[in-house]
DNA sequence: CGCATAATTGATAATGGTCAACTAAGGTGG
DNA sequence: CCACCTTAGTTGACCATTATCAATTATGCG
């Protein structure tokens, strides 16, 4: 028996894809060189600055977008302006709504982001041809469902400090591979964090100060956070 | 051109399925008589009383269950016992986690329920053979994701009255087909409603009393609710 | 009919929100 | 390169909403 490769060989893989951080994960991880080359030709790489709206609620969707770098926030607003962030997408997540003609959320760049825009019909054709791809996209939707439900617990049952600790833990484990300690830039402003946690910016700020006073985190600058002991932060998540 | 039928003809459909309220919806709606007969033979109809645990968190899953009647609540608990209901399943929803070996939530009968238990491998074989079925199951997962996100807005950004009104509106539109008025039994106890809304039972009770005092709802008995004007209830949802 | 449980109501406390003043930080032009 | 200016974030004082604790009242079942 031959050694089994982890992923499809890179021989025919386009150079751009080889350098892409999302290459071996997400939807690209299940495609071979020829399929990637095909998709690459029909898609478009773009950079969007933090804050830019990517997809409006209730707007027709004509493209999917693969997140290559940065963080995208998905949010919903009530008529009177109250806003709730309902999800965060990191590389290599796929942005867009399979089998729907319109979005039920609005998407905006939380940090500066690099995207790979794939026209709706192109990706859907690829899905029809590759069961692995369709399966992968379905698995992402199921993972997003798990994450949404996990977050419902945070929103419904946790205190303000626990909410902030949970958010920091989420980002720390996403941005920094280290198991014990972490040191990272927050991809969201205080206002976005507040909208994600169902709090006000003042409360977010106070709880960050509290965690800092307790020695659970360090705040190097407004955006820069250090976590000397992830297990201790974990304990504050409720 | 011939008249197009809404669903597959009933000629070969098993009698039990013909009488099933979920017959033309959910996963059964995409199966023909032969497929239904096959699934029927390999599945088992059971009745479970309100309160009974159906599936524990982090337990291996060996069966799916189609909800035929009643309401199932999906919930998560924190170590210290705080609980959050993260989803409600009505007929003809499918209960279970596609492509996962263990559940991330626990499921319990909120009201008395009738279920159709389908062994995991049986349904997964059927999915592999019917793209329509796989598609249908994926669509349900996407709908559940939408519902979860919708509820995140309620949990994170709505006031106590708005939460209670939103819950009543959800149930009213599910249990009663009427467009203007509704009259229904609550499938959940006050404790379950509180766990769904991220409130205490006392607050739920107070807000129900408030809505009653405002004439938005009538409370015939603890479980029986009347809504003279759904549009007015809708206004209270924030 | 009585009992056990579920729900309501009231009094009080705590958590987080609001409004306002102040401070840090990052970007631009002199 | 630094000073200024704008914006984002922090902190404080006070208030509102919801939680907590306790007592009372329905309701549905045996």
Q: Are residues B110 and B127 in the same domain?
A: yes
Q: Are residues A20 and A121 in the same domain?
A: yes
pLDDT value of position A5: 47
Q: Are residues B137 and B39 in the same domain?
A: yes
List residues, Cβ < 7 Å, touching strand D. A 189-191, 201-202, 204-206, 208-209, 219, 222-223; B 159-161, 198-200, 202-203, 221-224
pLDDT value of position A144: 96
What's the rounded Cα separation, in Å, for the pair B147 and A83?
16
Residue B8 covered by a domain:
no
The model's pLDDT over A177-188, given as tens digits with 9 standing for 90+, comes to 888 999 999 999
Q: Are residues B34 and B147 in the same domain?
A: yes
What pLDDT band is residue A18 in, cutting at 50, 70 and 90? Answer: confident
Q: Are residues A115 and A179 in the same domain?
A: no
Q: Are residues B128 and B45 in the same domain?
A: yes
Residues 6+ positions from A167 with CB-CB distance below 8 Å: A193, A196, A197
CATH of the domain at B193: 1.10.10.10
Q: Are residues A136 and A22 in the same domain?
A: yes
What's the rounded Cα separation, in Å, for the pair B2 and B171?
39
Closest CA to B110 of B74, B84, B59, B155: B74
Per DSSP, the three-state class of B206 is helix
The number of folded domains in chain B is 2
Q: Work out the angle between the directed axes of helices A120-129 and A131-157 (0-180°, nearest 10).
A: 120
For chain B, which residues score pLDDT lower than 50? Answer: 1-5
CB B95 within 8 Å of CB B115 = yes
A10-14, A31-35, A38-42 — which is least confidently predicted? A10-14
Q: Do B149 and A148 touch (CB under 8 A)?
A: yes
Residue A5 covered by a domain:
no
Q: Are residues A136 and A97 in the same domain?
A: yes
Closest CA to A71 of A156, A154, A146, A167: A167
Q: Are residues A121 and A170 in the same domain?
A: no
Per DSSP, the three-state class of A33 is helix
CB A138 within 8 Å of CB B138 = yes
pLDDT value of position B62: 85
What's the rounded Cα separation, in Å, for the pair B167 and B163?
6
Residue A2 covered by a domain:
no
Q: Do A149 and B104 touch (CB under 8 A)?
A: yes
CATH of the domain at B69: 2.60.120.10
B109, burial (CB in 10 Å: exposed 0-12, middle 13-18, buried 19+): buried
pTM value? 0.92
The model's pLDDT over A200-227, given as tens digits with 9 standing for 90+, comes to 999 999 999 999 999 999 999 999 999 9
Residue B7 covered by a domain:
no
A109, burial (CB in 10 Å: exposed 0-12, middle 13-18, buried 19+): buried
Measuring from the CA of residue A193 to each C1' atom, give the nucleotide at the shortest distance: D9
pLDDT value of position A217: 97
Is the predicted pLDDT of residue A61 greater than 90, yes or no?
no
- Residues linked to residue B69 through DSSP beta bridges, in sequence order: B114
pLDDT value of position A197: 98
What pLDDT band is residue A1 in, cutting at 50, 70 and 90? Answer: very low
Q: Are residues A79 and A37 in the same domain?
A: yes
Domain that holds residue B202: 158-235
């Amino acid at each position: 028996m031959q050694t089994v490769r982890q992923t499809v060989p890179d021989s025919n893989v386009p150079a751009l894809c080889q350098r892409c951080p999302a290459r071996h994960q997400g939807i690209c991880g299940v495609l071979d060189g020829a399929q990637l080359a095909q998709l690459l030709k029909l898609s478009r790489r773009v950079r969007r600055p933090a804050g830019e709206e990517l997809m409006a609620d209730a707007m027709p969707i004509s493209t999917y977008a693969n997140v290559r770098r940065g963080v995208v926030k998905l949010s919903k607003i009530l008529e009177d302006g109250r806003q709730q962030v309902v999800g965060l997408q990191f590389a290599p997540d796929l942005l867009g709504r399979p089998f729907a003609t319109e979005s039920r959320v609005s998407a905006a760049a939380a940090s500066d982001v690099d995207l790979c825009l794939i026209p709706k019909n192109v990706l859907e054709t690829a899905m029809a041809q590759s069961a692995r791809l369709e399966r992968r996209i379905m698995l992402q939707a199921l993972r997003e469902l798990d994450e949404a439900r996990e977050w419902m617990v945070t929103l419904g049952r946790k205190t303000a400090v626990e909410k902030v600790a949970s958010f920091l833990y989420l980002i720390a484990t996403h941005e920094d591979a280290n198991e014990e300690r972490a040191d990272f830039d927050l991809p969201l402003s205080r206002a976005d964090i507040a909208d994600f946690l169902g709090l006000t910016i003042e409360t977010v700020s106070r709880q960050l100060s509290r965690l800092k006073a307790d020695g659970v985190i360090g705040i190097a600058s407004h955006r820069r956070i250090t976590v000397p002991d992830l297990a201790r932060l974990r304990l504050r998540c409720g």
